[in-house]
Structure 1
Amino acid sequence: MNRKVAVLGLGLMGGGMARQLLGAGFDVAVWNRSPDKAAALGEAGARIATTPADAAAGAAIVIAMLADDSVSDTVWTGAHGALAAMSPDSIAIDSSTLTDIWVTTLADLAAKYGVRFLEAPVTGSRDQAAQGALRFLVGGDPATLADARPVFEAMGSAIVHLGPVGSAATVKLANNFLCGVQAASLAEAIALLEKRGLDIEQAMAILTDGAPGSPMVKGVGRRMLDRDYAPHFLVPLMAKDLGYAAQALADVGIISAMAQAARQCFVEAAAAGEGHRDIAAIVEPLRKI
């Protein structure tokens, strides 16, 4: 088996994924728009590529973890894009959070190059990527998934095949829609409790031990109270995901006031200087009111 794998995009998630592949013995090439993020992986044994095409050349599987539809388009199909450099019958995997419209288009473009395609967005964040504990939501051909399974298993703890291309993007956007709405409402709830002068730890224990106490509320709530904003999931990326979710809902006739309102919380937090921080930082502008 050709064990050459390329990873495109080395942010909070892609870097951890590449490191897991190296640990599993794959021959890994990496590319990132900001080359400095690749340096540590180079020291760990990865080949640092100069372009997406350079990374993809000769690889059996190319995995992208990128910011949005536009960046995905550029990295796969732009000048020095990965698709044109890939070998026929190799596998392109995009693990970014994207729209179903774009991943369906990307699958068609890959087919024109004789490249097989899977969408595989993930649940989990920075820590799960670093631990090889991501859950991959996969859309695409089952036989292609079977061929790519060893790579997924090196990076994650669960693989869920949801159906054809586009199905995983839809589930991932529904997932992040619910997460974003919870985080936005949690920030407002914490600000209310603090402004009323309540014992915040006591009050939060009631919330986290009761019906609202989802893993999102517990984890992000703790970071809000501790003012620990080291990035797990960046504020602008959640704003993007909520925008994509609002559009997906609109496409089926649902005009979501909740998605739009939650997105605005993240947009305003980014405008207030919190864009480089974890989504928990959306509480800070409310604390200053």
Structure 2
Amino acid sequence: MTNRKIAVLGLGLMGGGMARQLLAAGFDVTVWNRSTDKATALGQAGARIAATPADAATGADVVVAMLADDDVSRNVWTGENGALAAMAPGAIAIESSTLTGDWVFDLARQAAAQGVGFLEAPVTGSRDQAAQGTLRFLVGGEADSIATARPAFDAMGSALVHLGPVGSAATVKLANNFLCGVQAASLAEAIALFEKHGLDVEQAVSILFDGAPASPMVKGVGRRMLDRDYAPHFLVPLMAKDLGYAAQALSDVGIRPSIAQAARQRFLDADGAGEGQRDIAAIVEPLRKV
């Protein structure tokens, strides 16, 4: 990149941390968010606050989006005042949201028609990794575009895995979040079971933490469930969305998504019980009240 101008679209738990890492690395950063209050602190840190996605993308070498779902992504990139139409040929569009393969393919086609490079680059990691610049990017797209955008990736993360053409990263990311969601839902049920039986829950859960089930996901989310620490790392409705997308991806290739659907229902139940603005660990709360 020559003038290192980067736009970041979406300043939630992930996008805000990514934008801060770009600022810290010395990039000329413009930010946009639907609610401007989340942009204020970044403006004070040196970012330009844009009025629209198109305003943010104008003149940018790279535009990075971290958004909630397909509908939001579609509107931000291609809706009224969307970013894509404002991008110059040769610029790079990076979509880091967790989305369906269908929309990623569509967006890639529209970018190509405009002469804009396109990379899908969802991440593994959550709020803390975004704030620390240690995200791992799962990337689908052309190697030349990755090379062009590499300085931005290096500022925001600690690893990049080029999985293949557009669509490959969406598939792997949905599988990743599917497995995370299933583990969290299963763990919530196990903890509620221990509590209903009056066990020493710390002791019982230590068996899980020290045994075969002890993935980083189980340990991290399990600790938050035990401590009732629901400060958001990953919001409940976003996991419900990801499990829904994963279920659709499974159905598309003829696999009945019974496990994904069952796990998703736990997150929908928690959202309906008022846990929607809390961390995914809060899915245990409705089970505690049964």
Instruction: Give the TM-score of the pair, scaled to structure 1.
Output: 1.00
CA positional deviation for 1:102:
0.6
Whether 1:6 aligns to 2:12 is no
Match of 2:236 in 1: 235
CA positional deviation for 1:112:
1.5
Q: Distance in 2 between matches of 1:256 and 1:273?
A: 26
Per-residue displacement from partner, 1:80-119 (whole Å, max 9, x unpaired)?
0000100111000000000111101000011111111000
Q: Distance in 2 between matches of 1:193 and 1:225?
A: 11
Match of 1:185 in 2: 186
- Identical residues among aligned pairs (%): 80
Q: Distance in 1 between matches of 2:246 and 2:111?
A: 25
SS of aligned partner of 2:67 = coil
Q: Distance in 1 between matches of 2:48 and 2:190?
A: 47
Match of 2:268 in 1: 267
Q: Distance in 2 between matches of 1:52 and 1:98?
A: 19
Match of 1:124 in 2: 125
CA RMSD of aligned residues (A): 0.4
What does residue range 52-67 of structure 1 map to in structure 2 within 5 Å? 52-67=53-68
Per-residue displacement from partner, 1:118-173 (whole Å, max 9, x unpaired)?
00000000000000000000000011101111000000000000000000000000
Q: Distance in 2 between matches of 1:280 and 1:5?
A: 34
CA positional deviation for 1:2:
1.9
Match of 2:251 in 1: 250
Q: Distance in 1 between matches of 2:153 and 2:99?
A: 19
Whether 1:28 aligns to 2:26 is no
Query: Which amino acid in 1 is paired with 2:177?
Result: N
Q: Distance in 1 between matches of 2:89 and 2:235?
A: 36
Match of 1:196 in 2: 197
SS of aligned partner of 2:160 = strand
Query: Which amino acid in 2 is paired with 1:50?
Result: A
CA positional deviation for 1:256:
1.3
What does residue range 165-180 of structure 1 map to in structure 2 within 5 Å? 165-180=166-181
> Gaps spanning 5+ residues in structure 2: where?
none
Match of 1:45 in 2: 46
Whether 1:102 aligns to 2:103 is yes
SS of aligned partner of 2:256 = coil
Match of 2:90 in 1: 89
Query: Which amino acid in 2 is paired with 1:37?
Result: K
What does residue range 148-159 of structure 1 map to in structure 2 within 5 Å? 148-159=149-160
Match of 2:281 in 1: 280
CA positional deviation for 1:231:
0.3
Query: Which amino acid in 2 is paired with 1:113?
Result: Q
Q: Distance in 1 between matches of 2:270 and 2:241?
A: 13
Q: Distance in 1 between matches of 2:68 and 2:16?
A: 14
Q: Distance in 1 between matches of 2:97 and 2:30?
A: 18
Q: Distance in 1 between matches of 2:165 and 2:114?
A: 19
Query: Which amino acid in 1 is paired with 2:268?
Result: V
> Gaps spanning 5+ residues in structure 1: where?
none
Query: Which amino acid in 2 is paired with 1:180?
Result: G
CA positional deviation for 1:207:
0.4
What does residue range 126-141 of structure 1 map to in structure 2 within 5 Å? 126-141=127-142
Q: Distance in 1 between matches of 2:166 and 2:101?
A: 8
CA positional deviation for 1:9:
0.1
Number of equivalences: 289
Q: After the TM superposition, which parts of structure 1 deviate over 3 Å for at least 4 consecutive aligned residues? A: none
Instruction: Give the TM-score of the pair, scaled to structure 2.
Output: 0.99
Per-residue displacement from partner, 1:238-273 (whole Å, max 9, x unpaired)?
000000000000001001110000000000100000
